[in-house]
Amino acid sequence: MQKKLYGLDHLRAFAICFVFLYHYQIPIFGHPEWLTGIAKFGWTGVDLFFVLSGFLISSQLFFNIKNGIKISFKDFFLKRFFRILPLFWFVTAVYFLVPIFREKEALPPLWKLLTFTQNFGLNIQDYGTFSHGWSLCVEEHFYLLLPLMLLFLQTTNLFNKSYWILIALFIFGFIIRFYSWEILYFPNSDKDNAWLFWSKFIYYPTYNRLDGLLIGVSIAAIYQFLPEFWNKISRFGNTFLIVSLLLLIAAYFLCYEVRSFYASVLGFPLVDLGYGFMVLGAVCPTSFLYKWNSKTTTFIAALSYGIYLIHKGIIHLTQQFLLTLNIDINSSITLIICILACLIIAYILNKTIEKPFMQLRAKYNRFK
């Protein structure tokens, strides 16, 4: 098994590009007309990130458990700290200290950003600036709960029965989304601002977005704990990718009216299942994604976190600057300029913030 899983870099690069294009075509930015049809489904790029995170983080912890290494909360959270918080704090500071960077008019309260609770009760009409930080909240909740649950399962000798927890959480997802749609959203669905209630009660809360993370955890469990089964299914890498595309096509049509009952209750798990098969295929040695080593996707994947954090602000700044030059911000040329601007700024942040802190993390791992 090769140490570097190139397939995951391809998926990470695809996910950030899909999210970028989706956000680029929202009404607050100028964009070419042709983009909307292509980027309409781009909101699901975040779901791919969830599946990737579920797989990568749980796979690391499962590897330790499989090899009899005790889970260290200190080591786990310090690694997450060095990887996530420095750049997040920097971008948050820019949002609060440099008003021109804000893509919309109002920021959420600082305490919600710093405590990763922004995604609960999020009103994107009044506090829509840096709204994409909601997905980091979901990820942080996962980073907190997963090691705690694994420790509980180890100390109670219930780890071999843990698949029941996964099943229960999947079922819980359907139940809580049904409740959220029927009780919290539907009574407000005929209002002019119904989309605010849908996003607030269904789209953003962590308890409605667990499916992708759980699917990633499930793939990691098979990958680490069922080697014979894994060897059998890993022969079908490209088949899994085809299944992924078919499921995502079905999810596209199911979620075409994203605030419908079926999209709200069944859409997220179908999207995540589609991306789950994509991740599964990408880590199978027989798939073309596994074998394909691309410097371009590796480069974009390395910058994906920085791009995600800064892309709305950079698009806003770039388009405002181009307006002063009388350049049409709805043109394809402007789109290309905005892409290049995001890549350049993300690269600078990677070199000046992300890499130095990752080097500190490596030193900590050597000398702990």
Q: What is the DSSP string of 74-124?
A: HHHHHHHHHHHHHHHHHHHHHHHH-GGG-SSS-PPPHHHHHTT-TTSS--T
Tell me the percentage of the chain whose pLDDT exceeds 90: 87
Per-residue CA distances from 163 to 91, 156, 217, 362 (Å) = 38, 15, 10, 33
Distance, CA of 120 to CA of 76 (rounded, Å): 25
Position 34 pLDDT exceeds 60? yes
Q: Which of 123, 134, 129 is nearest to 198 (CA)?
A: 123
Report DSSP letters for 168-235, one per residue. Answer: HHHHHHHHHHHHIIIIIIGGGTTSTTHHHHHIIIIIS-GGGS-HHHHHHHHHHHHHHH-HHHHHHHGG
Q: Which of 191, 209, 189, 52 is nearest to 137 (CA)?
A: 209
pLDDT of residue 365: 73
Are 148 and 72 in contact, with CB atoms under 8 Å apart? no
Binning pLDDT at 50, 70 and 90, where does residue 155 land? Answer: confident
Crossing angle of helices 211-225 and 134-155, rounded to 10°: 40
User: What are the backbone angles phi and psi of residue 356, rounded to the nearest 5°?
Assistant: -60, -40
pTM of the model: 0.95
Binning pLDDT at 50, 70 and 90, where does residue 157 land? Answer: confident
Arithmetic mean of pLDDT over the chain: 94
Distance, CA of 322 to CA of 122 (rounded, Å): 31
Per-residue CA distances from 41 to 45, 57, 103 (Å) = 8, 26, 22
Q: What is the pLDDT of residues 201-218, one digit of tens each?
A: 999 999 999 999 999 999
Q: Which of 98, 135, 97 is nearest to 113 (CA)?
A: 135
